[in-house]
Amino acid sequence: MAQSLRLFPVTNFLARPMPEVIFPGPEGRLEGRFNPGPRPRAPVAMILHPHPKAGGTMNNRIVQALYQTFVRRGFATLRFNFRGVGRSEGTFDNAIGELSDAAAALDWVQSIHPEAQQTWVAGYSFGALIGMQLLMRRPEIRGFISIAPPANMYDFSFLAPCPSSGILIQGTSDEVVTPGAVQKLVDKLRTQRHITIHHDEIKGANHFFENEMTELMGSVDNYLDFRLDPACTIR
């Protein structure tokens, strides 16, 4: 990973504590925070954090902000630490094992909400890569949010075809994940049938959205307002 990706700040973004959970993963226990849905058929959302070797954890402020916005909308929402991070067991596995972690985490949430009306996945940086890989394995995922997907570092050709509609959000001043690489990914996805790909650019934002959190979460919320509207034609 690039030198500038070394530190993802860990912050206590949420004012109130979230329920701690430990659940089984492929290489041992995984640590997470889970907010159950308000009803049995509540929709499900899972939030995936940045690169473990660059300081990424489930306590990243963007991960926490995504978590909170889904909780506010009545989703059963999980964020968790990939293997080897925090109290999660195992060791980093260069995206292969982390994809298995994400699948196990989604299994766990669905065991609590087996009648969920819909399923969403949101990821930031490395987490966006894992989230988009998970789309290919889990046809029940209806929508995705990918923030700064590392299209210049990893091969996204596995999205052939991409099975779900979603949004990619990118900072125009990101020197870690280059905007041009994300634009190429967007252009490629938009050639595919039966999905609709949205793309927002946050002017002046770097990889960490240090001064643009309001604009970033405004983009997320506007997209969710659109997609969750009963009148939305995207399914």
Residue 234 lies in a domain: no
Domain count along the chain:
1
State the pLDDT at residue 156.
98
Is 235 inside any structural domain?
A: no
Residue 83: give its domain's CATH number: 3.40.50.1820
Residue-number span of the structural domain to which 16 is assigned: 3-227
pLDDT digits (tens, 9 = 90+) for 165-203: 999 999 999 999 999 999 999 999 999 999 999 999 999
User: Could you report how far apart the first and last alpha carbons of the chain are, in Å?
Assistant: 35
Any domain includes 85: yes
Residue 8: predicted pLDDT: 54
Residue 164 contacts by C-beta under 8 Å, 6 or more apart in sequence? 135, 141, 142, 143, 144, 195
Mean pLDDT of the chain: 93
Q: How far apart are CA 106 and CA 104, in angstroms?
A: 5
Question: Cα–Cα distance between 119 and 106 in angstroms, integer?
Answer: 9
Strands in 81-225 per DSSP E: 119-124, 141-147, 165-171, 197-202
Mean pLDDT of 13-24: 69
85 within 8 A of 25, measured Cβ to Cβ = no
Domain assignment present for residue 34? The answer is yes
**pTM score:** 0.92
Per-residue pLDDT tens over the stretch 83-132 = 999 999 999 999 999 999 999 999 999 999 999 999 999 999 999 999 99
